[in-house]
Structure 1
């Protein structure tokens, strides 16, 4: 048995032992991405700080997440790794069994993409999201749908893409600035017409 499976088994063996823990982890694993999304909706609408900077962070996070999930899709097309429950007998808690490739984890990649993007600009709240992303990765192993290498690969891809996108700030900042101003103008015109 390989190390990846052994690490998987060390965490997955606890699944099914405590109903409350199982339900909490399953809910977080399933709806965690919505929580991440809500943070960015709040940031987009927030009046605290500089609203333009807030919206730029949201656009960076969106860009990074789309690129990360795109890279994941390319990897999945080139390499198919079956999910743990296909190859082994596991404590499977997920009610929705996916036949998608196990490697890399989209949940982990998406969570870390958003967390890294926010951490780059806002350390405090970004740290909270990084901790949540870490627990998102663990939850995927716990419920039996990913190996540790799957979630680690997702996190690494997110980190590399974040660094690459942020390194292009000189090009992206003016583009995002124009998008935000265009959004504000269209919103102002709509408000003016409704008066």
Structure 2
């Protein structure tokens, strides 16, 4: 695999130079901002997006609806973790060096990247979360997929990944999030339902709605006899 990167006529390498070459025309502060966003910012934004989606999914009408919805949201970060674990043997098998190891003239915005390049962990994490959120909620999923696409661009812009590293990460993250989703939902939904029934931690799954408010003070309080009478019988007597 590493040999594929040595040819300057390789479209992968050409696109790498084109995207990373944008750093030659951007101000230094923007390069620093892109480095922070690509390394930490977008992943943090995706985590906050998951929390936001979870907070809303708790407010479904019934416990069963809330449990299945929250289980789908929880699967998004779990899928990201599994995808990164799957990537460990892939990286070790391919052993593709970072692009700046084989190609000169790249402007590397982040130092200390000494591990292998294929596939991108950041792209894998971002796309797995985005695809997982898309299963749970279409609107949040589309936002997540957009953030994942931006993450992929940033990794190439920063000079730490080839475009195919990013594409491979997108494919891996999507595959794990979608292919394992049925099994994950079968396991997580009953667990979420059990947690939702708990008196102490049930709020993590289901936001119980407030019951009916008390009757206004101006209304006459029912007599003890009326209180023990079936409502349907009172209506018939009236």
Q: TM-score range by the shorter chain?
A: 0.7 to 0.9
More helix by share: 1
The answer to whether the 8 Å contact 2:67/2:193 transfers is: no
**Of residues 26, 34, 40 in structure 1, which corresponds to 2:44?**
34
**Of residues 94, 103, 109 in structure 2, which corresponds to 1:79?**
94
Q: Name the Cα RMSD after superposition.
A: 2.2
Matched residue of 1:14: which SS?
A: helix
Q: Does 1:59 align with 2:59?
A: no
1:7-156 correspondence to structure 2 within 5 Å:
7-19=15-27, 20-31=29-40, 32-46=42-56, 49-50=59-60, 51-89=66-104, 90-94=106-110, 96-156=111-171
For structure 1, list consecutive stretches of 5 or more residues without a partner in the other structure. 189-195
TM-score by length of 1: 0.85
Q: CA deviation at 1:16?
A: 3.6
Q: What is the alpha-carbon distance in structure 2 between the residues aligned to residue 136 and residue 34 of structure 1? A: 11
| Structure 2 counterpart of 1:6 | 14
Q: What is the alpha-carbon distance in structure 1 between the residues aligned to residue 158 and residue 94 of structure 2? A: 23
Higher relative contact order (CA 8 A, sep 6+): 1
Q: What is the alpha-carbon distance in structure 1 between the residues aligned to residue 191 and residue 77 of structure 2? A: 11
Q: What is the alpha-carbon distance in structure 1 between the residues aligned to residue 201 and residue 180 of structure 2? A: 28
Q: What is the alpha-carbon distance in structure 1 between the residues aligned to residue 57 and residue 68 of structure 2? A: 11
Q: Does 1:171 align with 2:186?
A: yes
- Give structure 1 regions of 4+ aligned residues with deviation exceeding 2 angstroms: 41-55, 167-182, 184-188
TM-score by length of 2: 0.71
Q: What is the alpha-carbon distance in structure 2 between the residues aligned to residue 142 and residue 37 of structure 1? A: 22
Q: CA deviation at 1:125?
A: 1.6
Bigger drift between 55-64 and 136-145 goes to 55-64
For structure 2, list consecutive stretches of 5 or more residues without a partner in the other structure. 1-7, 61-65, 203-238
Matched residue of 1:103: which SS?
A: coil
Bigger drift between 168-177 and 107-116 goes to 168-177
Cα 1:121–1:43 shift into 2, 3 Å: closer
The answer to whether the 8 Å contact 1:16/1:93 transfers is: no
